[in-house]
Amino acid sequence: MRFLCALILLCSPLLAAAPVQTLRILGLQSNAEASVVYYRELLQLVLDRTAAEYGAARLELVPPPPLGDYRYLLMKQDFIDVHHFGTSPELERDLLPVRVPLLGGGLGWRGFVIRKVDRLAFAQISEFTELKRLTACQGELWPDTDIMRAAGLQVITAERHDQMLEMLRRERCDYFPRSIFEGPVEQKAFQLQYPDLEFSSSVLLHYPFAMYFFVKKDNYTLASRLEKGLEQLAQSGELLRFLQQHQIARQVFPLSRFAQSLVFHLDNPLLPANTPLQQTAYWFSMPAVQREITVAPPR
């Protein structure tokens, strides 16, 4: 009898252990989407840091749809549980945002993937009117597309990342804006398939921009968990350190490497009014650059 009681006591913690929660996220659309790995690893870090309060959780990769950028639709139809999006009023209306920027606003600093033969031409740009004569490639559903068009830039769109690289190679567009975090590491991923393309930071676009985790509108528990974990990481400085040490940032820091860039500052008409711009722990600061121009929106 004593043996039986001891066995029950020994096994009871195992029997009472809560099951591991599974969160579904989208896998890569393209091998060149290196930045997606950052969001995945950050998400797992947040889940691990909040496991004591909410329980253990693991990520399950869901294959992306073969055609179209249906991430928004997938989440609304409950195919995935969490995804990263560049925020917009529409997204914050239909989904539940976790308002801690995942890249410190870094996605709002954009260099260009260009054809190598155009390197000198881009290096010689000195006025915004010169850039307006060229055509950018961007994602069909990306907020950046509307931001750039609102500034007067010509933009054509595609549904997938690899389609935009192909459009650039075939000269259907002149440049493909990518953030200073995405561009360098993505170049390593696509350089074998597209050896005639490169990432250039001689000209940068900048606009206030926040990339958040979003969940379904009624998933308050998951939103609260992610917010607590991210807030803890941000206030302790660990979120910035995680970014600095990640593979997507190895060619970005120190930020003084962009001191010679020409920066065009654009307005972001899609930025929701409740974006936490005053929370300095959420954002990184770019040091002074040699030349910067604030672009007034077209009337």
Which residue type is seen at 219?
A: N
Question: Domain 18-106+209-254 in CATH: superfamily?
Answer: Periplasmic binding protein-like II (3.40.190.10)
Q: Is 171 left (phi over 0), alpha (psi -120 to 50) or beta?
A: left
Q: Is the pLDDT of residue 124 over 60?
A: yes
CA-based R_g, the chain, Å: 22
> What pTM, to 2 d.p., does this model score?
0.82
> What is the C-alpha to C-alpha distance for residues 272 and 274, in angstroms, rounded to an integer?
6
| Contact status, residue 81 vs residue 212, Cβ threshold 8 Å | no
The predicted-structure confidence for 158-174, as pLDDT tens digits, reads as follows 988 889 999 999 999 99
141 token code pair: 């559903």
The predicted-structure confidence for 139-154, as pLDDT tens digits, reads as follows 988 889 999 999 999 9
CA-to-CA dists, residue 250 to 39, 82, 171, angstroms:
16, 26, 30
Minimum mean pLDDT range among 52-66, 120-134, 163-177, 222-236: 52-66
| Contact status, residue 215 vs residue 224, Cβ threshold 8 Å | no
State the distance between the two ends of the chain, measured CA to CA, in whole angstroms: 86
